[in-house]
Amino acid sequence: MRLTRHGEIGCEKPGIVCDAGVLRSLAGIVSDIDAAVLSPSGLDHLRRIDPRDLPPVDGNPRIGPCVRFGGKIIGVGMNYRDHARQAGVAEPTRPVFFSKPLSSVCGPNDPIVRPSGSTELDWEVEMGIVIGVNARGIDPEEASGIIAGYCIVNDLTERGWIKQSGQLFDGKAADTFSPIGPWLVTGDEIQDPANLSLRLWLNGELRQDGNTADMIFSPAEIISRLSRITTLQPGDIITTGTPAGVGMRSVPPVYLKPGDSVRASIDGLGHQSQSVVVSSSCEELHAPKGVEGCPVSG
């Protein structure tokens, strides 16, 4: 299944994308793509529904983050062999984890807001793992049983702020630095998550072209190690690292500037596209809306 959310920011509604690419509404079937839906029983319930019986969504609505967030986002640094080679560093002997706040999340096609003072804004296409059940202290061979699905994440990073502070969080946490989606693709749809092509284009030029087979630590290893540090919960997303080709490693370095366009894709997970804007031009777009501001239908 390809699950998604559509509508204005803060007012997203659940949907499912059919084989023909038609977006159909899950309103009235589930309240959102949340912890209840991500559980094995929740996904089994949706699998028993014929999407062709659901009403199509009219028009061309905004696509929101594919999961309703209430948990955490954990990233893995330097997890591709080609990325480590390009950076000229030794492969890590254990995963390097960092966190991103929920306020960094935006829709897959929402603008990227370059914050005031940002001068080295970089891109990172990554496969995201969406957790479906509570899990702690699990072994690698159990990892697949807690995965609800996979999605695309662009792990945007302000390199200059990391250089200044030495803290990954400083460069990862700004609003819109985690475009997620367009879909949550359930695990049964992905034959081999360890063999998916990842690509990213900047202004139409291919900048990243990798494969998840190049990961240093597999999704199962990452999940197992993380679950021994913290309880993984439904809706948590783990971003699994990025291949070579980030802007910082270009010669000379290339960073995102207002007016740039970014397109990222992963086999089977769809694609996302963003434009880069300055903060003052996008304050209203990403402001959360109250429930009273949500449209009644859609």
Structural domains of the chain in order of their starting residue, each with its CATH number: 68-281 (3.90.850.10)
Q: Where does the pLDDT of residue 69 fall: very low under 50, low under 70, confident under 90, or very high at 90 and above?
A: confident
CA 241 from chain centre, in angstroms, equals 11
Does residue 214 sit in helix, strand or coil? helix
Question: Out of 6-10, 108-112, 222-226, 291-295, which region has the weakest mean confidence (pLDDT)?
Answer: 291-295
d(CA 257, CA 112): 10
Instruction: Tell whether the model's pLDDT for residue 33 goes beyond 60.
Output: yes
Between the CA of residue 298 and those of 2, 22, 30, 61, 239, what are the distances in Å?
19, 15, 14, 9, 31
Mean pLDDT of the chain: 93
Please name which of 181, 203, 179 lies closest in space to residue 261, comparing C-alpha atoms.
203
pTM of the model: 0.94
Q: What are phi and psi of 56, to 5 degrees?
A: -70, 150
Residue-wise pLDDT for 165-175, tens only, equals 999 999 999 99
**Contacting residues for 249 by C-beta, under 8 A, at least 6 apart:** 86, 87
Write down the pLDDT at residue 292. Answer: 44
